[in-house]
Chain A
């Protein structure tokens, strides 16, 4: 029976997690897989993210139905009722069609039974293998049996079979017998070798004697087929390519007919590798080239045997597929042209950016000390070199990775912070692409406040100095001088590359790749791949930073839910109803304490009997039962039976790794009819290796026992005061949305919500739909934006679920998530509306700059106007001799605090357009930094190839515009390459003035939302909640949020719609375990809690004279309880009285 899911998400990095969560919270079942043995992708390695220099990933966790998901650090792990995570898993095959894809997953076994592994680490200690650690980016070494991420949950050791030496030491060392190398099953693993060569048989018999594999030989194809037909016990078929009667292909086909699941290996001869790899495509597992070498052959066969026996497949049926494969970092070592030499990557002072990131981390090789990892030398001067492996056509990377500029600034700031500002930091760059929201300010702060030096130059050589310590960087200054500087450390800002084996993966999934090896996506739908029902999330379609990846993941989730809805996936499958638990609040607490007693490492350190006896004396403990291995099925059954027998109303389990038990507690709750909120798991294991002294030391034992006792009794005290949560709260959600703004973003969001069957009111202040995007006539990728917009407008206007109000505005909006009441003023009068969510897509406009003769001379225009004049034929490119363009144009003295992101592509579009129509035209572009992130870079290359001249300027050398005869502009500038002043007299001067957000002062008040210092909406969290407002139920998208191009605007609109669907889909909302309540008899209505609540979840109900808590909005932070002078506000589970007893229990000295 295939497992059924709404969607399969491939890749459990940040994009995959976000897409999975977005789908899961709207009620879809999701399978989340990753080929790595850990989740989190590259973010597991990064402790800090720009532009805040913090993490905050946990803010992505669901805000509603919080209990259905894990409530701890997201980098540690993720649980969600609707998400099944499969690690070390890849997609084997996929067939079917949208709405019903049949996927078979290949699950690589870690060879360690996770139910038995207690993460004691003894296996790793005895392992003789040392290979570079992936987690520490190769700066440290790990054994072949290792922890993939030191803080992951659940944290079990895994075996890296590829690097295993088969010494079996770990197997012997494992105290719980968790490691399974399948020793016993070898004698039943029959191998059939079909090969004509008698010497091979001799060789194999000799070499494999110790392995005990029963070997069978067939000298002809027919013999092999007969053997397969008569005997079903074969585990492996090895086919030689030298059979007389039957070629290898035929035998492979026959064997697959007879035994479809039989593993087949091809033994190729030298020279026939091509034919052999064809056979692998036809279903053989792999091929091996003769002649075989004894030891290596045995190791290979033994590992293959373990894989065949341990690996499993999982068959799924899914509605849609989201690909979130992320990216790999370019490695200077993999440069075929000998990158090692150029970048001196083997020098201890040269690191890649990820390596540097690990160096700065507390879990890194030096514990967060800034010294050279190779030789431990101190670091005083660090240089960052940008665009290593990006923006480099010779390395098939004519694209910009888009993230390196920012992470280099972040790393420089982190280095400054770590050393108290002492370390000297220099960033060598070509263009500083700080184009995201707040990035420009971040950069300016780094430069002006924190003293990070920015050098615009690309060093051509890194020379290790003769003293063996420092590195010399040679580079050309602006003035053309050759400069040299010495550094202790050089960090290579290595860019993004498609993940390894993406081509094979794309073949499996049936999607196309683009010329750089990333997944090809469609114009105006950056989440759509070439295959219907398969979507790209995160950075898989184009290198992206976290914020954009998260938005892109939201868009992919939206597209997937559209498929799930359209094909009615999982219809008719009944979901388990939320169990109802008996109310035990009136009963005296009876706690069952189950202690895991069988763990050998624990037994050595602690006397479980003593602890049990002491625990038995603790108030409210009704029974202490020792169980053998709480983590094993048997141990768990014992706990269940004890619970059924003693009928406790609290259950406390003392074991290891408490986090891993959270999903199981829910199950236990169902079995024994007790609310999981009344159960807890306490770590009694860590204490056993916490003490500094040796095992067997009596004093040490006592200390450890004390600690275990204290942990347990504190937990008993806490459970005693735990509040059983009340019944589910029914929220009456108004199932419709209000979308403000009828531009591209608003219409896209409206369509996305309306297609899910909810009503949408779309309010536009102008007379017609369309907004700023209607001013575009062409796109760089050759698509037709006009046609797209006109079709979108037609669809919106015809949609039965969308009601469009043009020439209208929202004048009032009151209420909270799920139930807003708003008033729309239109020419036909004022309408009232009840809706569950609001989406603000108010957009922006071309900034108004009244300088340089704009609006005075006909020869001066903005980029948009130039595009329009070219498209409408008003301007004849053939009649123009020269055009000058000025980027980042602002009013005199106005500071550039953010990048508008659209002007550089707009400029390139005009350049290429003009050059295409008239190749002889002279084009001069004055620019500060060309912002062409991602694949836009290639158009910048094209523009330069077409002959446009790019002249950089900065604050001091900004071009000055005057006018000569016939309104001809005269531009006086400075060319840093010629190192002299220049004067240009073009026919046309085109200016980029950038984007400004539309004025939303009024809306800000109406919707009670904030804007940032530049006038864009202030989202809840730039990286993790990029389309949410702090106020729940209100979302933002498009240019109103930040400058965006068309496809980015579409993504943000879809992401916002997906977030909105969470609320619109809700019928009832289960009451959370941790939520604030008010005891009205004690409340003096001082309203201190209202001010303290960061979520606006509290209001004063004037009629009832009560403080009311909105249970959807409350996140259970407890700020209100701490400020309440009367203790009238309490947080469930954290009442004063139980907290006091918890403190008492924690400080109690056991007898």
Chain B
């Protein structure tokens, strides 16, 4: 893989937990990669798989979905719904030539700013290893 490849990551984060953690990571000046794009959702349970696919097709090299820890969802069970959805999506993606590693679901609680920074950095490293998304150039959009 080329050394210069800088992946673009889109993160769908829930308003209650991970967005707060991202904000905390930002304000406590934990170094974050500038190639991360945050999209705040009310809940991970409202992340429609088509948003994830759309992101991958529109230029994201990896999509992170991050919400409250299991049992912690502000909306009772939205994160469980997200878990099921991402699991299914991960099974389908390879059929379209998209590595399932490009979509990741994590739980990051509101006070875990350091955890958020670490999660993002790890994910970016993983995607960097994986290289640019090749399926995009083949897909007819």
Contact = CB atoms under 8 A, between A and B. Distances in A.
Interface of A: 47, 52, 54-56, 58-59, 71-73, 75-76, 119, 121, 150-151, 155, 361-363, 367-368, 657, 659, 683, 686-687, 689-692, 703-704, 706-707, 710, 714, 1030, 1074, 1092, 1094-1095, 1115-1119, 1121-1123, 1131, 1134, 1136, 1139-1140, 1142-1144, 1146-1149
B76 A1030 contact: yes
B103 interface: no
A75 B78 contact: no
A64 B50 CA distance: 31
B42 A689 contact: no
B122 to A, nearest CB: 15
A1118 B20 contact: no
A72 B114 CA distance: 19
A1143 B10 contact: yes
Closest 7 CB pairs of A and B: A1118-B46, A1117-B75, A686-B26, A1147-B59, A1146-B37, A54-B72, A1094-B76
Contacts of A1121: 46, 48
B98 interface: no
Interface of B: 8, 10, 15-17, 19-20, 23-24, 26-29, 31-32, 34, 37-39, 41-43, 45-48, 50-51, 54-55, 58-60, 68-69, 71-72, 74-78, 81, 85, 109-115
A363 B24 contact: yes
A1136 B28 CA distance: 33
Given A151-B111, A714-B39, A58 B78 contact: no
A1149 B6 CA distance: 13
A1092 B85 CA distance: 13
A755 B39 CA distance: 48
B26 A683 contact: yes
Contact of A1143 (B32, B54, B72, B111): B54
A346 to B, nearest CB: 29
A689 B54 contact: no
A356 to B, nearest CB: 16
A834 to B, nearest CB: 29
A71 B15 contact: yes
A1122 B46 contact: yes
B58 A1147 contact: yes
A697 to B, nearest CB: 13
Given A368-B114, A714-B37, A54 B69 contact: yes
A659 to B, nearest CB: 8
A1122 B71 CA distance: 20
B37 A76 contact: no
Contact of B72 (A56, A155, A1119, A1131): A56
Contacts of B31: 690-692
A1122 B81 contact: yes
A710 B34 CA distance: 10
A704 B32 CA distance: 11
A690 B28 CA distance: 10
B46 A1143 contact: no
Contact of A151 (B27, B75, B78): B27
Main secondary structure of the interface of B (DSSP, over half): loop
Given A706-B34, A1119-B78, A1146-B37, A55 B43 contact: no
Given A73-B110, A690-B26, A690-B31, A52 B71 contact: yes
A684 to B, nearest CB: 11
Contacts of A1143: 10, 39, 51, 54-55, 58
A174 to B, nearest CB: 18
A362 B130 CA distance: 29
A162 to B, nearest CB: 26
B64 to A, nearest CB: 12
Given A56-B74, A1118-B45, A1147-B8, A73 B28 contact: no
A155 B27 contact: yes
A687 B37 CA distance: 12
| Interface residue SS majority, chain A | loop
Given A58-B16, A1119-B78, A1144-B58, A1134 B26 contact: no
A1149 B61 CA distance: 14
A610 to B, nearest CB: 16
B76 to A, nearest CB: 4
Nearest to A659: B23
A58 B74 contact: yes
B27 A1119 contact: no
Contact of A1118 (B34, B43, B58, B110): B43
Nearest to B61: A1147
A690 B111 CA distance: 19
A707 B59 CA distance: 16
Contacts of A690: 26, 29, 31-32, 34
Nearest to B81: A1119
A71 B111 CA distance: 16
Nearest to B43: A1117
Contact of B15 (A72, A363, A710, A1094): A72
B18 to A, nearest CB: 10
B110 A55 contact: yes
A151 B39 CA distance: 20
B15 to A, nearest CB: 6
Given A55-B72, A363-B111, A1074-B42, 6 more contacts: A47-B112, A361-B111, A686-B26, A690-B29, A690-B32, A1139-B51
A1117 B54 contact: no
Contact of A362 (B38, B48, B69, B111): B111
Q: Which of B15, B42, B50, B68 has the most CB of A within 10 A?
A: B42
A76 B16 CA distance: 10
B115 A1147 contact: no
A1131 B43 CA distance: 12
A1118 B42 contact: yes
A704 B72 contact: no
Contacts of B115: 362, 368
Contacts of A363: 24, 28, 111, 113-114
A1117 B34 contact: no
B111 A47 contact: yes
A58 B26 CA distance: 21
Contact of B41 (A683, A689, A1134): A1134
Contacts of A368: 112, 114-115
A1118 B17 contact: no
Nearest to A1144: B58
21 contacts: A47-B109, A52-B71, A52-B72, A54-B71, A55-B109, A73-B20, A151-B27, A151-B111, A363-B28, A657-B27, A690-B32, A1094-B77, A1095-B76, A1116-B42, A1119-B78, A1122-B47, A1122-B85, A1140-B51, A1143-B10, A1143-B54, A1147-B10
A294 to B, nearest CB: 41
Contact of A1094 (B51, B75, B109): B75
Given A72-B20, A151-B27, A690-B31, A362 B113 contact: yes
Interface centre among A56, A75, A362, A703 (most CB of B within 10 A): A362
A151 B41 contact: no
A54 to B, nearest CB: 4
A362 B112 contact: yes
Nearest to A1133: B42
Contacts of B29: 121, 689-690
A1115 B113 CA distance: 26
B27 A119 contact: yes
Given A1119-B75, A1140-B54, A1147 B37 contact: yes
Contacts of A1116: 42
Given A362-B112, A690-B31, A703-B34, A1119 B58 contact: no
A703 B32 CA distance: 12
A75 B113 contact: no
B52 to A, nearest CB: 9
Given A59-B74, A72-B16, A363-B24, A1118 B41 contact: yes
Contacts of A1146: 10, 37-39
Contact of A1119 (B19, B28, B43, B109): B43
Contacts of B38: 1146
